[in-house]
Chains A and B, each alone.
Chain A
Amino acid sequence: MIVKEKPKAFYDTFERKGAGQKVTHYCPGCGHGTAHKLIAELLVELDIQDRTIFLSPVGCSVFAYYYMDTGNIQCAHGRAPAVGTGIRRTHKDAILISYQGDGDLAAIGTAEIIHAANRGENMTVFFINNAIYGMTGGQMAPTTLEGQKTLTTPLGRSSGRDGNPIGMAELMNAIKAPVYIERVSLSTAGKVLKARKVFKKALENQIEKKGFSFVEVLSPCPINWKMDPVEARSWMQAQLEPIYPVKNFRDESLLPPPHDDTLPQMEEKEMKQLLSAGGAIPEGKNPAPDLEQRVKIAGFGGQGVLSAGVLLANYAIARGYQATWLPSYGPEMRGGKANASVIFSSRAIGSPVVAVPNVLIALNTPSLISFEPDVERGGLIMVNSTLISDKVKREDVDVLYIPASEMAKESGVMATANVIMLTIYLKYKGLADTEILKKILPLSVKRKDAVAVNLKMMEKALTYFEEELT
C-alpha cells in the first residue's frame, strides 16, 4: 500500500454511513479502497476538494459518499454520465467524478456513457472493471472473461450464449471527442503508482476544461472471484490483463477544443421582449357583435389551410373575441386533407372541436364532400369555385361560390386564396375591419416577404365583394 496516511478528502469517521463508523464496507483486498484513496489524495493535492461533486453509482461503490468528503450525488444504475451532464450544465467549474463499475457503465449504462463521451462532457470517469458484479453477489458482468465462473455462468461464460468480454476503453476510443483514454491496473504496487499518475492527468484535464477523460481501472474483487487477495492479483496479471491490455489509448481529443457558446442570461425586460417578438396582437377598438362562429377551413395540405385559421383566430382576438384554433391533418402532412377548426365567440369557449360548423370554407372538392353534411342549418358554405365544380346540394344553408384560386393566380402565390376567402367571409358577415386585418396579416403569414402579396389579395377580395356580392 503506497498510501501512508489518510487523505484529507477522506472522512475520519464515516458519519454518512452511520454515527461513529470507522470501517469501510469494502471486502479485504478489494480494489475500491485503493482507487478511492488515490482519488481522495489527488483531490487535496490538486486543491479541488471543495468544488468536487462525486457521482456515486449503483454497485459496491454506491457508498463512495460514506468516505469522500465532497459534495455527493448518488445516481441510478448506469445513469451517472447523464446526471453529470445535468450538473455540468449548471456549474461550469465543478469537478465531476463519475466512478462506475462494470455493470453500471458497461451494461445498463452504455447509452449514457457513450453519449456523454460523444458530447465531450468535461468530466472524469473512473471505470472500475473487476470482471464481475460485486454488490449483488458475483454474477456475470459484460467484462467477465470467457470461461469465467460466476453465479449466472456456473459452467463458465460461453461467448456463444453470453456474449464476449467487452473492452470499454477500446469502445471509447472509437469516439472522437474524448481527450484522454487509458486503462490501468491495480494488480501490483508499481501499477498502482502508474495508476495514480493517470488519475491525476484525468483530473487535471478537467481542471483545464479540456473535456472528457476516461480511465478504465482493472481492479480485484477477491471475494467474488473466490480467491485470496494475493491470488486475485496474480489472476489479474495472468488472465485479465492479456484480455484488457493496460495502456494509453489516447492523449488528446481528435476534435478541436470545445468552446462555450452560452449566451448571457437575459433579464426580465429582454425576456419579455424575446417572448413577445412578432406575435403581439393589437387591441381592437371596434366593439364586436355578440356571436359565436365555428369555422372549418378545409383543403389540401400545402394550401395554407392551417395558417388561414391562424389568421382568422388572430383577427378575432384583435376584435375582442375569445378564439381557439385546432389543426387536423390527414394521414399525410402534405397533399392529403388538412383542416383547421377555428371558434371565436363573445363568451368562454368550451370544446375547441368544430363538429357542427356554422361556417365551412371548402378549398377543394373532397373537403366539400366531407364537411357539407355537417354544416349547421342556416350556416354558410364558401366554395372555392376554381377547384370545385360541384354545387352545394344543401338548401338550408347560404352558399358563396368564389373563384379564389383563379383570383390568387395573379399573385403567383396560390395560398393567398385563403386570404381572399377569409376577407370575403368577414365582409359577408359584417365583421371585416380592414385596418385590423392589415395589422394582423404580418402576424399570421409565416414568410415575411409574402405579406405584401397577401395584402394585395385582401384588397382584391374587397373589390370583388363590392362588385360581385353587393
Chain B
Amino acid sequence: MSEKVKQLIKGNEAVIYGALMGGATHFFGYPITPASEIAHGAARYFTLSGRHFLQAESEVAVINMLYGAAGAGARVMTASSGPGMSLMAEGLSYIAGAELPCVVVDVQRAGPGLGNIWPEQSDYNITVKGGGHGNYKSIVMAPHSAQEMCDFTYQAFELADKYRITVIILADAYIGQMMEAVEIPEKLLEGERKDWALYADKESRENLVTSILMDPQLQSEHNWKLQDKYERISREFCLWDELECDDAEYLLVAYGISSRICHSAVEELRKKGIKAGLLRPKTLFPFPEERLKELAGSASKVISAELSNGQMAADVERLCGGICPTERLCWLGGIVPSVQEISEKIESWAEGESK
C-alpha cells in the first residue's frame, strides 16, 4: 500500500516539507512578507524534528550564519524576499567564493525599495546573474506550484552539495501564498561528510574555508575554476516544461506565476485555433537555451511574459536573435495580468499576420 499522502498547503509551507525531507538541518531566518510563513514553518518543524531554527538579527546575519553552518558541513537554508536578498548579496558572494552549498528561497515581491508585497519577478537579474560582487552564479530554480516548491527545495540540497554552490528557489508572492495539494517526498535524505568542511576534529583541522586569494595568479585560477564549474552545470543539468510547443507559432516563455497564466492563455488560444505554446524554464540558470533556440526556429514569434521590465526577456532575445522575432509582455508593481490580456494580445498578432 502506498503511504502517499496529499495535503492542501501553501507553497511557502511546502518549502519546509521539501527542505526537511531533503536533509536540511539548519534554517536561519528573518521575517519578511511574503516569505514569512517559511520562517514560521521552519520554527515549528525544524525545531520539532530536532533540526535547528534561529531567527537572526538581520538578513546580513542570516546569510553569514548560513556561511558558518555550511562551512561546518551542514545542509543549510534561509528564505526571504527582495529587500532581504539585497542585504544578503554580500554573504552570497562570499559563499560563492568559498564554494559553500546553501539553499536560499526568494519569494519575490515588488520593488525597488520597500515596494509592496504583491508579486513581481524583478529579482531575476540579482539571482540569475549573480547579485553580489564578483563573477559568480547560483543555480536558480523556478517553481510554479506548491508541489514544485516542495520538490525543488528537496532537490536543491543535493544539487548544492554536488556542485558546492548556492541553489536559489526563485518563487513569487502568488506561488508562495497559493495553496495546492502536495505530496511529501518518499525518502528522507541526509548530507554526507564533506572532505573540505570544518568539523572541529583532527581530520578536518587542515581545512580552510575562505574566499580570499591574495595572489592574483591563484585568484585567477580559482575564478576560472568557478567558471568551469558553471559551464559543467549548464552541460549536466537543466529543467524545463513544455505545453503545446512542438508546432507552436506563438511561443510564450514564462516561469513562476506568469507561466501559470500563460498556461491558461495557451489553452484559450488553442481553442481558437491559434497555435500557441509555452516553454517554461524550471531552471533559470541553467536556462534551456538549446531548446529555446530549436523552438524559435519554427515559431513566428517568441514572447517573454514576466512581471519585470524584461529581465528574462533580455536573455530570451539574446538567444533568439536572428532566429525569430521577439516580443515582451511585462507587468510591474505587483500587477498580475489576466489570461485574457495575454491571449488577446497574441490573437491580435495572429490576426495581423493572417491579413
Interface residues of A (CB under 8 A from B): 16, 18, 49-53, 56, 62, 65, 69-76, 79, 82-91, 93-95, 111-112, 114-115, 262-268, 270-272, 274-276, 279-281, 283, 310, 313-314, 317, 322-327, 348-353, 355, 443
B210 to A72, Cβ gap below 8 A?
A: yes
Selected A-B contacts with CB under 8 Å, 29 pairs: A53-B198, A71-B206, A72-B198, A72-B210, A79-B64, A79-B91, A83-B65, A84-B68, A86-B64, A86-B70, A86-B71, A88-B68, A90-B52, A115-B57, A264-B50, A265-B51, A268-B187, A271-B21, A275-B17, A275-B184, A281-B5, A313-B179, A326-B174, A326-B177, A326-B179, A350-B265, A351-B264, A352-B174, A355-B340
**Which of chain A's residues has its CB closest to B6's CB?**
A281
Q: Could you tell me if A86 and B264 are in contact, using CB atoms closer than 8 angstroms?
A: no
Task: Tell me, yes or no, whether B180 is within 8 Å of chain A by CB.
Answer: yes
List, in ascending order, chain A residues with CB within 8 A of B208's CB: 16, 65, 71-74
A51 and B209 in contact (CB under 8 A), knowing A89-B52, A353-B338, A355-B340? Answer: no
Interchain CA distance A86-B49 in the complex, whole Å: 18
Q: With CB as the reference atom, state the residue of chain B lying closest to A283.
A: B6
- Minimum CB distance partner of B53 in chain A: A89
B57 near A86 (CB under 8 angstroms)?
no
Q: Does B260 have its Cβ within 8 Å of any Cβ on chain A?
A: yes
A268 and B174 contacting across the interface, CB-CB below 8 Å: no
Chain B residues with CB under 8 A of A65: 208, 210
Please, how many angstroms separate the alpha-carbon atoms of A279 and B17 in the complex? 13
Give Cα distance in the complex from A268 to B23, angstroms.
10
Q: Does B248 contact A (CB under 8 A)?
A: no
The listed residue with most A CB atoms (<10 A of its CB), out of B62, B188, B200, B265, is B200
Given A90-B69, A262-B50, A350-B260: A115 and B61 interface contact (C-beta under 8 Å): yes
Q: Is the CB of B61 within 8 A of A314?
A: no
Q: Are B74 and A276 in contact (CB under 8 A)?
A: no
Q: State A322–B49 Cα separation when bound (angstroms).
A: 30
Let me know if A268 and B188 touch, CB within 8 A.
Answer: yes
Contact A280 B6 (CB under 8 A): yes
In the bound complex, do residue A317 and residue B6 qualify as a contact, i.e. CB atoms below 8 Å apart?
yes
Q: Report B68 CB to chain A, min CB distance, Å.
A: 3
Q: Do the beta carbons of B212 and A350 come within 8 Å of each other?
A: no
- Total count of chain B residues near the partner, CB < 8 A: 78
By a CB distance below 8 angstroms, the chain A residues around B192 are none
Closest A residue to B215 using CB positions: A18
Question: Across the interface, which residues of A come within 8 angstroms of B17, CB to CB?
Answer: 275
Shortest beta-carbon distance from B30 to chain A in Å: 11
A79 contacts B215, CB within 8 Å? no
In the assembled complex, which residues on chain B have CB atoms less than 8 Å from the CB atom of A71? 198-200, 204-208
Q: Is the CB of B181 within 8 A of A51?
A: no
B205 with A111: CB separation less than 8 A: no
* Min CB–CB distance A215 → chain B (angstroms): 21
Q: Determine which of B5, B45, B52 lies in contact with A280 in the assembled complex, contact meaning CB atoms within 8 Å.
A: B5
6 more A-B contacts (CB under 8 A) besides A73-B68, A350-B266, A351-B338? A73-B198, A85-B68, A90-B25, A275-B17, A279-B7, A349-B260
Give, as a whole number of angstroms, the nearest-CB distance from A150 to chain B: 24
Interface centre among B52, B72, B205, B266 (most CB of A within 10 A): B72
* Most chain B beta-carbon neighbours within 10 Å: one of A94, A95, A114: A94
Cβ of B200 and Cβ of A281 under 8 Å apart? no
Residue from A51, A82, A310 having most chain B Cβ neighbours under 10 A: A82
Could you tell me if A111 and B49 are in contact, using CB atoms closer than 8 angstroms? no
Interface residues in B185-233 by Cβ distance below 8 A to A read: 187-188, 198-202, 204-212, 215
Other-chain residue from A76, A90, A322, A350 in contact with B181 (beta carbon distance below 8 A)? A322
B58 at the interface (CB under 8 A from A): yes
Say yes or no: A323 contacts B71, CB within 8 Å: no
A52 proximity list for chain B (CB < 8 A): 200
| With A86-B65, A86-B71, A352-B260 as contacts: A263 and B52 at CB distance below 8 Å | no
Most buried by B among A84, A279, A281: A279
B261 within 8 A of A: yes
* B64 CB contact (under 8 Å) in A69, A112, A280, A350: A112
